[in-house]
Amino acid sequence: MVDTVLLERAREAVCHFRTEGTTGEVRSWGSGHINDTFLVEGDTRYILQRMNRSIFTKPVEVMENITGVTSFLKEKIRNVGGDERRETLTVIFSEDGKSIYEDSCGDNWRMYYMIEDAMCYDQVESEQDFYESAKAFGNFGYLLSDYPAKTLHETIPGFHDTRARYDVFARAVEADVCGRAEAVRQEISFFQEREGIAGVLKQMQAERKLPLRVTHNDTKLNNIMMDKSTGKGICVIDLDTVMPGLAVHDFGDSIRFGASTGAEDEPDLSKVSLDLHLFELYVRGFLEGCQGSLTKEEIAMLPMGAKVMTYECGMRFLTDYLQGDTYFKIHREGHNLDRCRTQMKLVADMEANWVRMEQIVSRAANSKK
């Protein structure tokens, strides 16, 4: 159901941006769950968004990251004769030259050119889609491999600090504010027994074995715009969580979400496993997109990136369950527990197939030499 008041506010916000020609109808657009998104029709079409201020408490910093990264990408794209209007987001500035417009209610709005003749998918519909998303995210990292990552704002501090996430989990177990811990002792023990992996990647970063890079931090298939005619991934979108981070985190989150045989909240765990064929496809596509920009250590740690990201996400679901389901939206009793168990199943499956995962990565890396 369309919120007519919000729609009217969206129409009002459009008037405060430097648009080209005449603008027309404004309507709700897309399936995102964080920001409110609208399509603006007219001589030129635009995407307008109201930023979620409860999640993005520093919108100016978010937009400074986005404008910095997209400006950098545009120069790279121009240098190779690409189409900068389609291959990266274009921020439309407000009348007073800012990247956001703050309305009378204190909400922040932003605008981009609509990327025409392209679409995105909420789920993997074909192996080729998954492969193309891997190439697109790999290329995103490649193009930004010489961007000074430390100059970016950390808009969500500790976003992938798995060690810190574990500490929050441990406190939730001890506090047991909802009296749920006793019934999920098996799940709690699963994460406690694997505590050692929580600090692996952060330690390697501290030892400078893994370089700090510009990372996307939400590498799901629906954050890639696919060309309608060629099926190629042409543009990485949803840059709200672009921050300094590790390439293996971006790789790992894609595997956790896209290489599973079951949905993230599948109650029947017999349907959930790591699809090694999809894992291999993604490895090949990701390395192809990276074009040799990853170090040997980063490549070797790709399987660990997948395991740590899956472990971290499952632990976060369990933490939220123990705390009363206050962070992730749930649609049924025990929803977060189902989500937690799918991630546990994937971690266990990765452990059982660890040698094969390492062999797949090694084989793909050697084929690029």
What is the pLDDT, as a whole number, of residue 20?
A: 93
How many Å apart are CA 51 and CA 318, to the nearest integer?
Answer: 28
Q: What's CA 180's distance to the chain center, in Å?
A: 30
Q: Quick one: pLDDT at residue 294?
A: 97
Report the alpha-carbon angle 303-305-309, nearest 5.
125
The whole-number pLDDT of residue 269 equals: 97
Listed in sequence order, the residues at least 6 apart from 225 whose beta carbon sits closer than 8 Å to its beta carbon are: 86, 115, 118, 119, 120, 233, 234, 235, 236, 237
Which domains does the chain show, CATH number per domain? Answer: 4-114 (3.30.200.20), 127-367 (3.90.1200.10)
Distance CA 111, CA 13 (A): 10
> Which regions in the chain score pLDDT beneath 70?
1-2, 31-33, 368-369
**The residue type at 155:** T
| 174-223 pLDDT tens trace | 999 999 999 999 999 999 999 999 999 999 999 999 999 999 999 988 89
In this predicted model, what pLDDT tens digit does every residue of 320-358 receive, in sequence order?
999 999 888 889 999 999 999 999 999 999 999 999 999
What is the pTM for the complete model shown?
Answer: 0.92
Report pLDDT for 265: 94
User: What pLDDT score was predicted for residue 221?
Assistant: 87
Closest CA to 315 of 125, 167, 121: 167
